[in-house]
Amino acid sequence: MYARRLFDFPSMGWQYPFNGLERMSRQMDRLTQAVMGRPGMHWLTARVFPAVNLTEDKDKYYVRAELPGIKADALNIQVDGRNLAISGERTIPSEGENIRYHRKEREAGKFSRVIGLPGDIDASHVKAKMVNGMLMVTIDKSEASKPKQITVN
């Protein structure tokens, strides 16, 4: 199918011989994405709750996790060396006696996770907040692990 596409495609001319290939590569990416999620990231994904997103800029690390229905005081966040530990419990209160469930997809339970950060951090500058069920932890990088600009003379 792809081969047919490649040769039939009108934009496939001599001027841009790799146009078709690029398109094919994107299609392959989409295919892998459909089969196993994000391409290339599959093996890195830890199957421990909660799923986190870790991003960085030049001064800080940002750790975000989706924790709907969890109050800030039900969370326990600790920093130890390069590790950030998040633990807590999600409780779903009883909704009364005479109720009948149609669907019950939300789950309650305990969780505990450690996230290893890629560089040294300043443990005294860690802030965490909950906004609309989303946990956001901001961690300052230590002075040593911040990128330095080197001027060339």
Partner 1 sequence: MAESKELQVKEKHEVAGPAEQTRPGAVFTPEVDIFENDRQINLLADMPGVAPGDVKIDLDDGLLTISGEVKPFEGKDESDVLIEFEIGRYYRQFTLSEVVDQGKIEAKLEDGVLRLTLPKAEKAIPRQITVTAG
**Interface contacts to partner 1, rule CB under 8 A:** 37-38, 41, 44-58, 61-62, 64, 66-71, 89-92, 95-96, 98-111, 118, 130-134, 136
Which is closer to partner 1, CB of 28 or CB of 92? 92
Rg (CA), the chain: 23
Shortest distance in whole angstroms from residue 130 CB to partner 1:
7
In angstroms, the CA 140 to CA 15 distance is 50
Give residue for tokens 């998040």: 86
Shortest distance in whole angstroms from residue 93 CB to partner 1:
10
Shortest distance in whole angstroms from residue 86 CB to partner 1:
12
Which is closer to partner 1, CB of 56 or CB of 120? 56
Q: Which residues contact 23 (CB under 8 A, 6 or more apart)?
A: 9
Cβ burial, residue 121 (10 Å; 0-12/13-18/19+) = buried
Which is closer to partner 1, CB of 28 or CB of 41? 41
Cβ burial, residue 84 (10 Å; 0-12/13-18/19+) = buried
Shortest distance in whole angstroms from residue 59 CB to partner 1:
9
